[in-house]
Amino acid sequence: MDDKLDFTIYCIESYKVEKNLTGSETVILFDKYDVFKFINESYEALHTISGDYIMDDITSYIDNRRIIDS
């Protein structure tokens, strides 16, 4: 399997557990705020840091997108 795809699945699973969401809710949220694009474009940097930092980065990214979209 592709490393980026594996990493994206890891991010989905980790985020859903951390935020107590379902897989579907997480995918809808990631799609709405372009998190998949963020993960893909930031893969080289993101996959080298700890899971906690990855979740912090994704959470910050979503929070910033929510502010922009409101």
The amino acid at residue 56 is D
Residue-wise pLDDT tens digits, 51-64: 899 999 999 999 99
Could you list the residue range(s) of the whole structural domain that residue 20 is in? Answer: 3-69
How many domains does the chain divide into? 1
Residue-wise pLDDT tens digits, 13-53: 999 999 999 999 999 999 999 999 999 999 999 989 998 99
Here the tokens at position 18 are 């951390």
Q: Is 26 in contact with 69 (CB distance < 8 Å)?
A: no
- How distant, in Å, are the alpha carbons of 4, 13, 18, 20, 29 from that of 40? 7, 16, 21, 23, 16
